Chains A and B, each alone.
Chain A
């Protein structure tokens, strides 16, 4: 089955700096890669997703890149703000019932 690895497990940046989180996946048939943000005591919130027919997608300060050959994808957050502090999860899926999540990255943005 699919295996998703996520790095780093913790990331601390100064407000205004950029943050990058990387994930690798094992199943070359995976074709959907969402990113979720989870704040303490809340459920995961979708922030951006990308499908395998696209190499890059951007939404304001957030961007995701996908390299299908290398089987890795990354989340980029620019101009970080304290409210970006949360746990971020990547996931990979090739179908309805097989979404696999990484172990998460705890991002801390210091004011």
Chain B
């Protein structure tokens, strides 16, 4: 399977604990995005990377959230001191800026569903 993969698929944690999610993009895609999706809503943009550089962060990304893409390949999203309001599906997407087609086509992974008790 050469699509976007995410691990774990499900995570249950207690309020106040830290959690980390991993995303492996499509091979050679240089852009990687994180989104959050709550029940009954569309995905909301959190942040994106071009190669290893984090170029944009949404105001939704509080200081408890941090994302990295150290070698320009996989990425991690960490949430510190989780709150019940953090419960959501966290989606990763990747794209290539090399197609020359303007705004990139983003391909999504299966997501990590986080439940904070």
Which A positions have Cβ atoms within 8 angstroms of B? Answer: 4, 6, 31-32, 34, 36, 41-46, 49, 51, 89, 91, 93-104
Contacts and interface: CB of A to CB of B under 8 A. Distances in A.
Contacts of A34: 105-106
Nearest to A34: B105
B110 to A, nearest CB: 5
A75 to B, nearest CB: 14
Interface residues of B, number: 27
Interface in B10-49: 31, 33, 40-45, 48
A58 B97 CA distance: 24
Given A43-B91, A43-B108, A44-B91, A103 B41 contact: yes
B29 to A, nearest CB: 13
B40 A32 contact: no
Contacts of B43: 44, 89, 101
B65 interface: no
8 contacts: A32-B103, A42-B110, A46-B106, A95-B103, A97-B48, A100-B42, A101-B44, A103-B41
A32 B102 contact: yes
B40 A104 contact: yes
Contacts of B31: 96
A103 to B, nearest CB: 6
Contact of B42 (A45, A51, A91): A91
Given A97-B48, A97-B55, A99-B45, A36 B108 contact: yes
B39 to A, nearest CB: 10
Nearest to B91: A43
A94 B42 contact: no
Contacts of B109: 43
- Kindly list the 8 A-B residue pairs having the minimum CB-CB distance in the complex, ordered from nearest: A101-B42, A32-B103, A43-B108, A97-B56, A43-B110, A44-B108, A89-B42, A43-B111
Contacts of B106: 34, 46, 99
Given A103-B41, A104-B40, A93 B103 contact: yes
